Amino acid sequence: MEIKVASRPLLKRRGNVPCGGETLIKFSGKFLETRTDGKTIPGTLFLGLGSEKELTLDKIRQAMGKAATTIREAGGTKIAAPLLETKFPSDKGGKGGVSVSDIAQAMVEGVILALYQFNLYKTDPDLDKNEIKELTLLVTDRSKKASVLKGALHGQWIANAVNSARTLCNLPGNVLTPSRMEQEALRLRKEYPISVSVLERSDAEALGMGAYCGVARGTAEPPKFIILEYKGGKGKPIALIGKSVTFDSGGISLKPAENMEQMKYDMSGGAAVLGAMKVAAQMKLPLHIVGILPATDNMPGGKAMHPGDIVKTLSGKTVEVINTDAEGRLCLADAITYSLRYKPYAIIDLATLTGACVVALGQHAIALFGNNAKLIEAISLASEKTGEKVWPMPVWDEYYSQIKSDVADLKNTGGRPAGSITAALFLKQFVTDVPWVHLDIAGVAWNGDKPRPYTPKGSTGAGVRLLVQYLIDLAGK
Ligand SMILES: [Zn+2]
Protein backbone atom coordinates (compact mmCIF):
# COMPACT_ATOMS: atom_id res chain seq x y z
CA MET A 1 0.00 0.00 0.00
CA GLU A 2 1.22 3.47 -0.86
CA ILE A 3 1.16 5.98 1.99
CA LYS A 4 1.07 9.71 1.22
CA VAL A 5 0.83 12.92 3.18
CA ALA A 6 -0.87 15.94 1.59
CA SER A 7 -1.99 19.41 2.66
CA ARG A 8 -5.66 20.27 2.74
CA PRO A 9 -7.46 23.53 3.34
CA LEU A 10 -9.14 23.95 6.70
CA LEU A 11 -12.82 23.04 6.36
CA LYS A 12 -15.27 25.40 7.96
CA ARG A 13 -17.53 23.63 10.34
CA ARG A 14 -21.20 24.39 9.99
CA GLY A 15 -23.66 22.19 11.78
CA ASN A 16 -22.67 18.64 12.66
CA VAL A 17 -21.07 17.83 9.34
CA PRO A 18 -18.42 20.07 7.78
CA CYS A 19 -19.98 20.37 4.33
CA GLY A 20 -23.23 22.30 4.32
CA GLY A 21 -25.47 24.66 6.19
CA GLU A 22 -27.50 21.93 7.81
CA THR A 23 -27.15 18.49 9.29
CA LEU A 24 -27.31 16.17 6.32
CA ILE A 25 -27.12 12.74 7.87
CA LYS A 26 -27.85 11.20 11.19
CA PHE A 27 -24.56 10.51 12.91
CA SER A 28 -23.87 10.46 16.62
CA GLY A 29 -20.09 9.97 16.42
CA LYS A 30 -19.96 7.26 19.04
CA PHE A 31 -16.82 5.13 19.06
CA LEU A 32 -16.49 2.86 15.99
CA GLU A 33 -19.74 4.11 14.44
CA THR A 34 -19.41 4.35 10.67
CA ARG A 35 -21.84 5.86 8.18
CA THR A 36 -21.77 6.54 4.47
CA ASP A 37 -24.14 8.65 2.48
CA GLY A 38 -23.64 8.17 -1.24
CA LYS A 39 -26.26 10.73 -2.23
CA THR A 40 -25.21 13.88 -0.44
CA ILE A 41 -21.48 13.37 -0.06
CA PRO A 42 -20.38 10.57 -2.36
CA GLY A 43 -17.34 8.63 -1.29
CA THR A 44 -17.35 9.95 2.27
CA LEU A 45 -17.23 7.78 5.34
CA PHE A 46 -18.11 9.24 8.72
CA LEU A 47 -16.11 7.66 11.48
CA GLY A 48 -17.02 7.89 15.15
CA LEU A 49 -14.18 8.41 17.67
CA GLY A 50 -16.40 8.78 20.73
CA SER A 51 -15.84 11.32 23.45
CA GLU A 52 -12.71 13.43 23.02
CA LYS A 53 -12.05 13.10 26.73
CA GLU A 54 -11.69 9.35 26.40
CA LEU A 55 -9.69 9.25 23.19
CA THR A 56 -6.45 7.24 23.11
CA LEU A 57 -3.95 6.34 20.42
CA ASP A 58 -5.27 2.81 20.44
CA LYS A 59 -8.83 4.03 19.85
CA ILE A 60 -7.52 5.89 16.79
CA ARG A 61 -5.84 2.67 15.67
CA GLN A 62 -9.09 0.73 16.14
CA ALA A 63 -11.27 3.35 14.46
CA MET A 64 -8.98 3.57 11.42
CA GLY A 65 -9.03 -0.22 11.22
CA LYS A 66 -12.81 -0.24 11.24
CA ALA A 67 -12.88 2.48 8.56
CA ALA A 68 -10.41 0.61 6.33
CA THR A 69 -12.31 -2.68 6.36
CA THR A 70 -15.64 -0.85 5.85
CA ILE A 71 -14.22 0.97 2.82
CA ARG A 72 -12.77 -2.24 1.40
CA GLU A 73 -16.10 -4.01 1.77
CA ALA A 74 -17.78 -1.13 -0.08
CA GLY A 75 -15.33 -1.62 -2.97
CA GLY A 76 -13.16 1.43 -2.29
CA THR A 77 -9.49 1.35 -3.30
CA LYS A 78 -8.16 4.63 -1.91
CA ILE A 79 -8.51 6.33 1.45
CA ALA A 80 -7.86 9.97 2.33
CA ALA A 81 -8.21 10.83 6.00
CA PRO A 82 -7.64 14.04 7.95
CA LEU A 83 -4.93 13.74 10.59
CA LEU A 84 -6.91 13.14 13.77
CA GLU A 85 -5.32 15.95 15.74
CA THR A 86 -6.91 16.21 19.09
CA LYS A 87 -6.08 16.21 22.77
CA PHE A 88 -5.41 12.97 24.56
CA PRO A 89 -6.54 13.46 28.14
CA SER A 90 -6.66 9.76 28.90
CA ASP A 91 -3.44 8.78 27.16
CA LYS A 92 -0.15 9.35 28.94
CA GLY A 93 1.58 8.17 25.78
CA GLY A 94 4.90 7.41 27.39
CA LYS A 95 7.73 9.93 27.39
CA GLY A 96 6.88 13.33 25.99
CA GLY A 97 3.14 12.88 25.46
CA VAL A 98 1.42 12.31 22.13
CA SER A 99 2.83 14.00 19.03
CA VAL A 100 1.38 14.39 15.52
CA SER A 101 3.94 11.79 14.50
CA ASP A 102 2.42 9.32 17.03
CA ILE A 103 -1.06 10.03 15.68
CA ALA A 104 0.02 9.48 12.07
CA GLN A 105 1.75 6.25 13.10
CA ALA A 106 -1.36 4.95 14.88
CA MET A 107 -3.58 5.82 11.91
CA VAL A 108 -1.36 4.01 9.42
CA GLU A 109 -0.96 1.01 11.74
CA GLY A 110 -4.74 0.73 12.17
CA VAL A 111 -5.31 0.62 8.42
CA ILE A 112 -2.52 -1.81 7.48
CA LEU A 113 -3.17 -4.14 10.43
CA ALA A 114 -6.93 -4.29 9.81
CA LEU A 115 -6.62 -5.01 6.10
CA TYR A 116 -4.42 -8.08 6.65
CA GLN A 117 -5.74 -11.27 5.07
CA PHE A 118 -4.21 -14.74 4.92
CA ASN A 119 -5.30 -16.01 1.51
CA LEU A 120 -2.13 -17.82 0.42
CA TYR A 121 -3.84 -21.16 0.09
CA LYS A 122 -7.12 -20.03 -1.47
CA THR A 123 -7.34 -20.50 -5.20
CA ASP A 124 -10.32 -18.21 -5.88
CA PRO A 125 -8.85 -15.45 -8.12
CA ASP A 126 -11.56 -12.96 -7.07
CA LEU A 127 -10.60 -13.01 -3.42
CA ASP A 128 -7.99 -10.25 -3.38
CA LYS A 129 -9.79 -8.06 -5.90
CA ASN A 130 -10.92 -5.49 -3.36
CA GLU A 131 -7.66 -4.02 -2.19
CA ILE A 132 -6.95 -0.62 -0.71
CA LYS A 133 -3.97 0.61 -2.67
CA GLU A 134 -3.45 4.07 -1.26
CA LEU A 135 -3.77 5.91 2.03
CA THR A 136 -3.33 9.69 2.17
CA LEU A 137 -3.10 11.58 5.45
CA LEU A 138 -4.34 15.16 5.10
CA VAL A 139 -2.69 17.85 7.21
CA THR A 140 -3.87 21.44 7.56
CA ASP A 141 -0.62 22.78 8.98
CA ARG A 142 2.19 22.39 6.44
CA SER A 143 4.85 22.77 9.12
CA LYS A 144 3.78 19.42 10.56
CA LYS A 145 4.16 17.54 7.29
CA ALA A 146 7.65 16.21 8.01
CA SER A 147 6.68 14.81 11.43
CA VAL A 148 3.54 13.26 9.99
CA LEU A 149 5.57 11.63 7.22
CA LYS A 150 8.01 10.20 9.76
CA GLY A 151 5.18 8.78 11.87
CA ALA A 152 3.46 7.36 8.81
CA LEU A 153 6.66 5.64 7.69
CA HIS A 154 7.26 4.16 11.15
CA GLY A 155 3.65 2.99 11.22
CA GLN A 156 4.11 1.32 7.86
CA TRP A 157 7.31 -0.49 8.90
CA ILE A 158 5.83 -1.65 12.18
CA ALA A 159 2.47 -2.79 10.80
CA ASN A 160 4.12 -4.62 7.91
CA ALA A 161 6.38 -6.41 10.40
CA VAL A 162 3.33 -7.42 12.47
CA ASN A 163 1.63 -8.72 9.34
CA SER A 164 4.73 -10.74 8.38
CA ALA A 165 4.77 -12.24 11.88
CA ARG A 166 1.07 -13.08 11.49
CA THR A 167 1.78 -14.87 8.22
CA LEU A 168 4.55 -16.97 9.79
CA CYS A 169 2.15 -18.01 12.56
CA ASN A 170 -0.73 -18.68 10.17
CA LEU A 171 1.44 -20.89 7.94
CA PRO A 172 0.75 -24.56 8.67
CA GLY A 173 3.22 -26.83 10.42
CA ASN A 174 4.07 -28.67 7.20
CA VAL A 175 5.34 -25.39 5.73
CA LEU A 176 6.61 -23.35 8.66
CA THR A 177 9.27 -25.77 9.92
CA PRO A 178 12.40 -24.82 11.88
CA SER A 179 14.24 -24.83 8.51
CA ARG A 180 11.74 -22.30 7.17
CA MET A 181 12.31 -20.10 10.23
CA GLU A 182 16.02 -20.31 9.48
CA GLN A 183 15.29 -19.15 5.91
CA GLU A 184 13.26 -16.22 7.24
CA ALA A 185 16.19 -15.20 9.45
CA LEU A 186 18.61 -15.54 6.54
CA ARG A 187 16.35 -13.31 4.44
CA LEU A 188 16.79 -10.57 7.05
CA ARG A 189 20.56 -11.01 6.75
CA LYS A 190 20.32 -10.32 3.01
CA GLU A 191 18.41 -7.08 3.41
CA TYR A 192 19.71 -5.61 6.67
CA PRO A 193 22.91 -5.42 8.71
CA ILE A 194 21.88 -8.44 10.76
CA SER A 195 24.16 -11.45 11.12
CA VAL A 196 22.70 -14.92 11.51
CA SER A 197 24.20 -18.14 12.78
CA VAL A 198 22.45 -21.46 13.25
CA LEU A 199 23.23 -24.40 15.51
CA GLU A 200 22.16 -27.74 14.05
CA ARG A 201 21.00 -30.67 16.17
CA SER A 202 24.53 -32.06 16.53
CA ASP A 203 25.94 -28.64 17.47
CA ALA A 204 23.31 -28.12 20.18
CA GLU A 205 23.93 -31.64 21.52
CA ALA A 206 27.69 -31.09 21.58
CA LEU A 207 27.21 -27.83 23.50
CA GLY A 208 25.13 -29.60 26.11
CA MET A 209 21.68 -28.16 25.44
CA GLY A 210 20.01 -31.23 26.90
CA ALA A 211 16.65 -29.54 27.52
CA TYR A 212 16.21 -28.07 24.03
CA CYS A 213 17.59 -31.22 22.37
CA GLY A 214 15.30 -33.31 24.57
CA VAL A 215 12.28 -31.57 23.07
CA ALA A 216 13.68 -32.00 19.56
CA ARG A 217 14.22 -35.76 20.02
CA GLY A 218 10.64 -36.62 19.07
CA THR A 219 10.71 -35.05 15.61
CA ALA A 220 12.41 -36.04 12.37
CA GLU A 221 12.31 -32.37 11.34
CA PRO A 222 15.79 -30.88 11.91
CA PRO A 223 15.72 -28.39 14.82
CA LYS A 224 17.43 -25.04 14.27
CA PHE A 225 18.81 -22.95 17.09
CA ILE A 226 18.87 -19.56 15.37
CA ILE A 227 20.93 -16.59 16.60
CA LEU A 228 20.58 -13.13 15.04
CA GLU A 229 22.72 -10.14 15.88
CA TYR A 230 22.13 -6.49 14.99
CA LYS A 231 24.93 -4.10 15.89
CA GLY A 232 23.43 -0.66 15.43
CA GLY A 233 25.16 0.49 18.58
CA LYS A 234 28.02 -0.41 20.88
CA GLY A 235 27.89 -1.82 24.35
CA LYS A 236 26.09 -4.70 25.95
CA PRO A 237 23.25 -6.15 23.87
CA ILE A 238 19.58 -6.57 24.63
CA ALA A 239 18.77 -10.27 24.28
CA LEU A 240 15.37 -11.00 22.73
CA ILE A 241 14.37 -14.65 23.03
CA GLY A 242 11.27 -16.02 21.29
CA LYS A 243 9.70 -19.41 21.85
CA SER A 244 9.83 -21.07 18.43
CA VAL A 245 8.03 -24.40 18.67
CA THR A 246 6.89 -24.69 15.06
CA PHE A 247 4.27 -27.27 15.94
CA ASP A 248 3.37 -28.35 19.46
CA SER A 249 1.57 -31.69 19.54
CA GLY A 250 2.43 -32.00 23.23
CA GLY A 251 4.84 -34.87 22.54
CA ILE A 252 4.14 -38.11 24.42
CA SER A 253 1.91 -36.05 26.75
CA LEU A 254 -0.22 -35.56 23.63
CA LYS A 255 -2.70 -32.70 23.51
CA PRO A 256 -6.41 -33.37 22.88
CA ALA A 257 -7.45 -33.15 19.20
CA GLU A 258 -9.74 -30.15 19.68
CA ASN A 259 -7.98 -26.97 18.51
CA MET A 260 -4.67 -28.80 18.15
CA GLU A 261 -4.42 -27.33 14.61
CA GLN A 262 -3.84 -23.94 16.26
CA MET A 263 -0.57 -25.21 17.72
CA LYS A 264 1.15 -24.08 14.52
CA TYR A 265 1.27 -20.64 16.22
CA ASP A 266 3.50 -21.87 19.06
CA MET A 267 6.38 -20.00 17.42
CA SER A 268 4.66 -16.61 17.87
CA GLY A 269 7.43 -15.44 20.21
CA GLY A 270 10.10 -16.19 17.62
CA ALA A 271 8.07 -14.47 14.90
CA ALA A 272 7.78 -11.37 17.12
CA VAL A 273 11.56 -11.30 17.65
CA LEU A 274 12.18 -11.53 13.88
CA GLY A 275 9.70 -8.69 13.27
CA ALA A 276 11.12 -6.43 15.97
CA MET A 277 14.71 -6.93 14.80
CA LYS A 278 13.71 -6.11 11.24
CA VAL A 279 12.07 -2.83 12.31
CA ALA A 280 15.04 -1.95 14.56
CA ALA A 281 17.29 -2.32 11.51
CA GLN A 282 14.92 -0.33 9.28
CA MET A 283 14.85 2.48 11.84
CA LYS A 284 18.63 2.20 12.24
CA LEU A 285 18.19 2.21 16.02
CA PRO A 286 21.57 2.75 17.73
CA LEU A 287 21.28 -0.46 19.74
CA HIS A 288 23.01 -3.78 19.99
CA ILE A 289 20.42 -6.57 19.83
CA VAL A 290 20.80 -10.35 19.95
CA GLY A 291 17.78 -12.44 18.94
CA ILE A 292 17.55 -16.12 19.84
CA LEU A 293 15.02 -18.55 18.36
CA PRO A 294 15.36 -22.12 19.66
CA ALA A 295 13.23 -23.60 16.85
CA THR A 296 11.93 -27.17 16.88
CA ASP A 297 8.76 -29.21 16.48
CA ASN A 298 7.42 -30.98 19.57
CA MET A 299 6.34 -34.41 18.30
CA PRO A 300 5.79 -37.87 19.82
CA GLY A 301 8.25 -39.75 17.55
CA GLY A 302 9.93 -43.02 18.53
CA LYS A 303 12.86 -41.21 20.13
CA ALA A 304 10.68 -38.69 21.97
CA MET A 305 11.26 -37.92 25.63
CA HIS A 306 9.27 -40.03 28.07
CA PRO A 307 7.57 -38.40 31.03
CA GLY A 308 9.99 -38.98 33.88
CA ASP A 309 13.10 -38.49 31.76
CA ILE A 310 15.79 -36.32 33.28
CA VAL A 311 17.62 -33.87 31.03
CA LYS A 312 20.71 -31.81 31.73
CA THR A 313 20.34 -28.19 30.68
CA LEU A 314 23.09 -26.03 29.21
CA SER A 315 23.38 -24.35 32.63
CA GLY A 316 24.26 -27.68 34.23
CA LYS A 317 20.99 -27.84 36.16
CA THR A 318 19.00 -31.05 35.77
CA VAL A 319 15.27 -31.18 35.01
CA GLU A 320 12.80 -34.00 35.48
CA VAL A 321 10.34 -33.89 32.59
CA ILE A 322 6.96 -34.52 34.18
CA ASN A 323 4.97 -33.43 31.15
CA THR A 324 6.42 -33.32 27.63
CA ASP A 325 3.85 -30.65 26.71
CA ALA A 326 5.65 -28.20 29.01
CA GLU A 327 8.37 -28.02 26.36
CA GLY A 328 8.54 -24.26 25.86
CA ARG A 329 10.32 -23.65 29.15
CA LEU A 330 12.85 -26.39 28.33
CA CYS A 331 13.75 -24.69 25.04
CA LEU A 332 13.79 -21.24 26.66
CA ALA A 333 15.95 -22.40 29.59
CA ASP A 334 18.78 -23.35 27.23
CA ALA A 335 18.22 -20.22 25.12
CA ILE A 336 18.45 -18.01 28.22
CA THR A 337 21.68 -19.70 29.33
CA TYR A 338 23.07 -19.37 25.80
CA SER A 339 22.23 -15.64 25.75
CA LEU A 340 24.40 -15.10 28.86
CA ARG A 341 27.56 -15.58 26.78
CA TYR A 342 26.75 -12.19 25.16
CA LYS A 343 26.73 -10.57 28.63
CA PRO A 344 23.37 -8.93 27.91
CA TYR A 345 22.22 -5.66 29.44
CA ALA A 346 18.75 -7.23 29.70
CA ILE A 347 16.87 -10.32 28.57
CA ILE A 348 13.32 -10.20 27.27
CA ASP A 349 11.62 -13.45 26.36
CA LEU A 350 8.27 -13.88 24.65
CA ALA A 351 6.45 -17.17 24.65
CA THR A 352 3.05 -18.72 24.09
CA LEU A 353 3.96 -20.53 27.25
CA THR A 354 0.98 -21.59 29.35
CA GLY A 355 -2.72 -22.36 29.08
CA ALA A 356 -2.92 -21.04 32.65
CA CYS A 357 -2.13 -17.56 31.31
CA VAL A 358 -5.18 -17.77 29.03
CA VAL A 359 -7.30 -18.78 32.02
CA ALA A 360 -5.95 -15.86 34.08
CA LEU A 361 -6.07 -13.00 31.56
CA GLY A 362 -8.05 -14.18 28.53
CA GLN A 363 -7.20 -12.77 25.11
CA HIS A 364 -6.67 -9.13 26.04
CA ALA A 365 -3.49 -9.02 28.11
CA ILE A 366 0.06 -10.31 28.12
CA ALA A 367 1.24 -11.66 31.48
CA LEU A 368 4.34 -9.72 32.52
CA PHE A 369 6.93 -11.27 34.83
CA GLY A 370 10.37 -9.98 35.71
CA ASN A 371 13.14 -9.50 38.21
CA ASN A 372 13.90 -5.81 37.63
CA ALA A 373 11.56 -2.90 38.40
CA LYS A 374 13.16 -0.55 35.86
CA LEU A 375 12.79 -3.01 32.99
CA ILE A 376 9.20 -3.84 34.00
CA GLU A 377 8.43 -0.11 34.05
CA ALA A 378 9.95 0.39 30.58
CA ILE A 379 7.87 -2.46 29.13
CA SER A 380 4.74 -1.07 30.82
CA LEU A 381 5.34 2.35 29.24
CA ALA A 382 5.72 0.77 25.81
CA SER A 383 2.52 -1.12 26.47
CA GLU A 384 0.58 2.07 27.17
CA LYS A 385 1.68 3.58 23.89
CA THR A 386 1.01 0.53 21.72
CA GLY A 387 -2.21 -0.72 23.26
CA GLU A 388 -0.60 -4.17 23.64
CA LYS A 389 -1.75 -4.56 27.20
CA VAL A 390 0.52 -6.14 29.84
CA TRP A 391 -0.45 -7.13 33.37
CA PRO A 392 2.14 -7.70 36.12
CA MET A 393 2.33 -11.10 37.77
CA PRO A 394 4.56 -12.28 40.66
CA VAL A 395 7.54 -14.64 40.47
CA TRP A 396 7.86 -15.08 44.22
CA ASP A 397 10.07 -17.81 45.66
CA GLU A 398 7.06 -19.01 47.69
CA TYR A 399 6.02 -20.90 44.56
CA TYR A 400 9.39 -22.65 44.23
CA SER A 401 8.40 -25.80 46.10
CA GLN A 402 6.00 -26.57 43.23
CA ILE A 403 8.85 -26.97 40.72
CA LYS A 404 11.30 -28.78 43.02
CA SER A 405 11.90 -32.35 41.90
CA ASP A 406 12.53 -35.38 44.13
CA VAL A 407 15.07 -36.81 41.70
CA ALA A 408 16.52 -33.79 39.82
CA ASP A 409 17.12 -30.07 40.52
CA LEU A 410 13.84 -28.99 38.99
CA LYS A 411 10.76 -30.45 37.38
CA ASN A 412 9.17 -28.90 34.32
CA THR A 413 5.65 -28.43 35.66
CA GLY A 414 4.36 -27.19 38.97
CA GLY A 415 0.85 -28.56 38.64
CA ARG A 416 -2.33 -26.64 37.96
CA PRO A 417 -2.21 -23.92 40.67
CA ALA A 418 -0.54 -20.72 39.40
CA GLY A 419 0.62 -22.49 36.23
CA SER A 420 1.90 -19.40 34.45
CA ILE A 421 3.75 -18.23 37.58
CA THR A 422 5.56 -21.53 38.14
CA ALA A 423 6.53 -21.53 34.43
CA ALA A 424 8.02 -18.06 34.84
CA LEU A 425 9.74 -19.10 38.07
CA PHE A 426 11.24 -22.07 36.20
CA LEU A 427 12.75 -19.67 33.62
CA LYS A 428 14.02 -17.40 36.40
CA GLN A 429 16.28 -20.22 37.62
CA PHE A 430 18.36 -19.78 34.45
CA VAL A 431 18.51 -15.98 34.28
CA THR A 432 21.15 -15.36 37.00
CA ASP A 433 21.24 -11.68 38.00
CA VAL A 434 20.62 -10.11 34.57
CA PRO A 435 17.55 -7.82 34.34
CA TRP A 436 14.88 -9.99 32.77
CA VAL A 437 11.29 -9.82 31.64
CA HIS A 438 9.19 -12.78 30.57
CA LEU A 439 6.07 -12.09 28.50
CA ASP A 440 3.54 -14.93 28.37
CA ILE A 441 1.64 -14.19 25.14
CA ALA A 442 -0.42 -17.40 25.11
CA GLY A 443 -3.72 -15.53 25.44
CA VAL A 444 -3.14 -12.72 22.97
CA ALA A 445 -1.29 -14.44 20.12
CA TRP A 446 -4.32 -16.01 18.48
CA ASN A 447 -7.69 -14.53 17.65
CA GLY A 448 -10.00 -17.49 17.29
CA ASP A 449 -13.14 -15.46 17.74
CA LYS A 450 -14.68 -12.89 15.42
CA PRO A 451 -12.34 -10.17 14.18
CA ARG A 452 -11.52 -7.13 16.33
CA PRO A 453 -11.08 -3.71 14.64
CA TYR A 454 -7.46 -4.20 13.60
CA THR A 455 -7.05 -7.87 14.42
CA PRO A 456 -8.50 -10.32 11.90
CA LYS A 457 -9.09 -13.95 12.87
CA GLY A 458 -5.99 -16.12 13.27
CA SER A 459 -2.57 -14.94 14.39
CA THR A 460 -2.41 -11.43 15.88
CA GLY A 461 1.34 -10.88 15.48
CA ALA A 462 1.47 -10.18 19.21
CA GLY A 463 4.56 -8.65 20.74
CA VAL A 464 6.11 -6.99 17.69
CA ARG A 465 4.72 -3.52 18.41
CA LEU A 466 5.47 -3.80 22.12
CA LEU A 467 9.10 -4.81 21.52
CA VAL A 468 9.65 -2.14 18.87
CA GLN A 469 8.26 0.60 21.13
CA TYR A 470 10.47 -0.58 23.99
CA LEU A 471 13.50 -0.47 21.67
CA ILE A 472 12.58 3.00 20.35
CA ASP A 473 12.24 4.34 23.91
CA LEU A 474 15.52 2.70 24.88
CA ALA A 475 17.28 4.28 21.93
CA GLY A 476 15.74 7.62 22.94
CA LYS A 477 14.36 8.20 19.44
ZN1 LIG B 1 3.43 -27.56 24.84
Q: What distances in angstroms separate CA 102 from CA 90, 94, 312, 473, one per listed residue?
A: 15, 11, 47, 13
> What dotted CATH number matches 173-475?
3.40.630.10
d(CA 250, ligand 1 centre) in Å: 5
pLDDT tens column, 41-96: 678 898 999 988 888 899 999 999 999 999 999 889 999 999 988 766 555 544 45
Select 2-165's CATH number: 3.40.50.720, 3.30.450.20, 3.40.220.10, 3.40.1790.10: 3.40.220.10
Per-residue pLDDT tens for 4-31?
Answer: 999 877 655 544 554 444 556 778 899 9
User: Catalytic residue at 329?
Assistant: yes
User: Chain-wide mean pLDDT for the chain?
Assistant: 93
Q: How far, in Å, is the centroid of ligand 1 from the Cα of 353? A: 7
Residue among 88, 84, 134 nearest 111 (CA): 134
**Marked catalytic residue, from 150, 180, 255, 312:** 255
Catalytic residue, chosen from 166, 243, 329, 465, is 329
Report how far ligand 1's centroid is from the alpha carbon of 331 (Å).
11
Say how many Å lie between the CA of residue 444 and the centre of ligand 1: 16
- The ranges of the chain annotated as CATH 3.40.630.10 are 173-475
What stretch(es) of the chain map to CATH 3.40.220.10?
Answer: 2-165
- Hey, which residues does 290 pair with through a beta bridge? 229, 239
pLDDT at position 451, please? 81
Q: Which pLDDT score is estimated for 22?
A: 52
pLDDT 10s digit of each residue in the chain, 477 long? 999 999 877 655 544 554 444 556 778 899 999 988 666 667 889 899 998 888 889 999 999 999 999 999 988 999 999 998 876 655 554 445 788 999 999 999 999 999 999 999 999 877 777 789 999 999 988 899 999 999 999 999 999 999 999 999 999 999 999 999 999 999 999 999 999 999 999 999 999 999 999 999 999 999 999 999 999 999 999 999 999 999 999 999 999 999 999 999 999 999 999 999 999 999 999 999 999 999 999 999 999 999 999 999 999 999 999 999 999 999 999 999 999 999 999 999 999 999 999 999 999 999 999 999 999 999 999 999 899 999 999 999 999 999 999 999 999 999 999 999 999 999 999 999 999 999 999 999 999 888 889 999 999 999 999 999 999 999 986
Residue 98 alpha carbon to ligand 1 centre in Å: 40
- Annotated active-site residue 278? The verdict is no
CA of 249 to the centre of ligand 1 (A): 7
Distance 110 CA to ligand 1 centre (A): 32
